[in-house]
Amino acid sequence: MFTLRDYQDRLVTSGEAAMLQGQRPCMVAPTGAGKTVIIAELARRSLARGEQVVIICHREEILGQIVASLQHHLGRQTVITQITAGSKPRLDRRVIVGMVGTMVRRLKMLEQLKGCTLLADECHHAPSPTWRKVIEAAQPRRFGGLTATPVRPDGKGLGDEEIFDLLINGPEVAELMNAGKLCRYRLFAAPHRIDTTGMTPRGGDFTTSDMERRVVKIQGEIVRDWKELNPTAQRTISVAVSVDHAHEVAGQYRSEGIAAEAVDGNTPKAERPGIFERFRAGQITVLCACSVIDEGLDIPEATCLQILRPTASIRLWRQLIGRVLRPAAGKDHALIIDHTDNWLRLPLPDEQIEWRLNAETQEPVEKRMRVINPDTGEVEKGELLLTEVSETGSRMVEITAEMLAHAHPVVARRLLNERCRAELEQGPPYRLRWLNYLDVLEDETLQLLEPALQLPPGWAQGQMMVRMLLSPGQRLAATKRLQQAWNKA
């Protein structure tokens, strides 16, 4: 049997109590916190009450991990029915682990599970139509789920989905790092990065076609940057923008004499375990993929994460980072190489997220500046960006002249745009001052400024056309001139 850690026991006890009271809890624990251990203990306690336990997941790798945890915790003699493609499961068994994709094609059969205790792993998928059908068909008496990221793809909470009615937060990533249960990390902004300016998320994230067009600009630098920032060639998971791109990147590494393979959803199921095992054994240095590895992949030996895929999804960002935070022998820290601006737009790996069961976008409790160390390229945390506004209880950016003067120019420009948009919502006397900062205002901000100042139609478009004539170096110089003025203010 497993010996549960304190935070695992607390989550189990709280989740069990909620389910016994008829609630449907969503239990939150970071990637690497041992969710399959928690599931195994919840199953053990349910079985002790004479209940049938059904556990659902969406990938075979996850199913295998759950079955292994159950056998370790409940004993090898425990009979576990698995519902997978081609199986003929006995649904009268006391423990059942099933693939949602298979179960949704056998909904009538699931009526035999009525009254069971149903546990969902990676339960942020539960609001999807496929998962809903399986949950409803099983008609569980008790229901609960576990996830590291209790949000939809668009970053909003699960509260309006009517799946869960209680959120139980477990430990934070930083807490587990301090306790040595997760690795600390070093995050580098790669010398060559994908520019997401003008890319618009659809369905919560950027489109593959948009990403493929942008990633071409850094193709020749991917391996070179990796060698520079990962000089000891630590085993790496490289996250591509598409299946074709993953295979292309693997080919680039092999052409440089570096052992690399790509894996995707079309990789034959019989071959996939062998690829992962060769990676664990060090026979593969770089494992390239665009999905498959974002959830449920448990390979502590993976030390470096190379992110070639920009994302607007806090869920995907956190799940990807979790692949390399698991501790392993000889692993001092995880190395994250970001070829995008994810590091600037999304919460850092150890920032505390204020997970809530509502339909709002989930945000860090304390958002800090990000600045690139010019000597190393490492992303460093700076001062707090958020402050409470007591009149409304809402949050806004508090930006001082000193902060702007000493920030990295790229950060300063972003901060100023955030402040401008916040003040435009407040109305006079804040609006007119922004005409002094046209050199650093982004397109989105200019579009808001035009109606706010009652400027002639087309004014914002004209300003955008003027900006198109400026090179990135000229914009950077303009920002620095403004920073010098702020420094003298």
pLDDT in tens, 293-342: 777 778 899 999 999 999 999 999 999 999 999 999 989 999 999 999 99
Q: How far apart are CA 269 and CA 471, in angstroms?
A: 49
> What pLDDT was estimated at residue 55?
98
Cβ distance 12 to 45 under 8 Å? yes
> What pLDDT was estimated at residue 250?
96
> What pLDDT was estimated at residue 394?
38
Least confident of 33-47, 129-143, 203-217, 377-391: 377-391
Give the H or E element holding residue 252. helix 243-255
pLDDT tier at 487, thresholds 50, 70, 90 = low
With b meaning 16 or more CB within 10 Å and e meaning fewer, what string describes 10-25? ebbebbbebbeeebbb
Q: Which is higher by pLDDT, 420 or 150?
A: 150
For residue 271, give the nearest of 284, 252, 290 by alpha carbon: 284
pLDDT in tens, 197-207: 889 888 889 99
Of all residues in the chain, what percent carry a pLDDT higher than 90?
Answer: 58
- What is the Cβ-side half-sphere exposure of residue 213, based on CA atoms within 13 angstroms? 8
pTM over cut 0.85: no
pLDDT in tens, 10-47: 999 999 999 999 999 999 999 888 999 999 999 999 99
Q: How far apart are CA 444 and CA 421, in angstroms?
A: 9
> What pLDDT was estimated at residue 407?
66
> For the chain, what is the mean pLDDT?
87
> What pLDDT was estimated at residue 393?
36
Q: Which long-range contacts (CB under 8 A, 24 or more apart) does 251-260 make?
A: 252/219, 252/222, 252/223, 253/223, 253/285, 253/286, 253/288, 256/223, 258/223, 258/233, 258/285, 258/286, 259/283, 259/284, 259/285, 259/286, 260/284, 260/285, 260/286, 260/287, 260/288
Peptide bond into 140 cis (omega under 30): no
Q: Is the pLDDT of residue 399 over 70?
A: no
Type of residue numbered 224 = R
Q: Is the pLDDT of residue 485 over 80?
A: no
Q: How far apart are CA 401 and CA 407, in angstroms?
A: 10
Q: Which is higher by pLDDT, 162 or 242?
A: 242
- Domains present along the chain, CATH in parentheses: 6-171 (3.40.50.300), 182-355+362-382 (3.40.50.300), 385-488 (no CATH)
- Overall residue count recorded for the chain in this entry: 489
> What pLDDT was estimated at residue 190?
93
Of all residues in the chain, what percent carry a pLDDT higher than 70?
Answer: 91
pLDDT in tens, 216-234: 999 889 999 999 999 999 9
> What pLDDT was estimated at residue 381?
76
Q: Which is higher by pLDDT, 382 or 15?
A: 15
Tokens standing for residue 377 = 């390229």
Q: How far apart are CA 435 and CA 175, in angstroms?
A: 45
Type of residue numbered 448 = L
pLDDT tier at 384, thresholds 50, 70, 90 = low
Q: Is the pLDDT of residue 448 over 90?
A: no
pLDDT (mean) for 156-182: 90
Q: Is the pLDDT of residue 367 over 90?
A: no
Q: Which is higher by pLDDT, 266 or 481?
A: 266
pLDDT (mean) for 167-191: 93
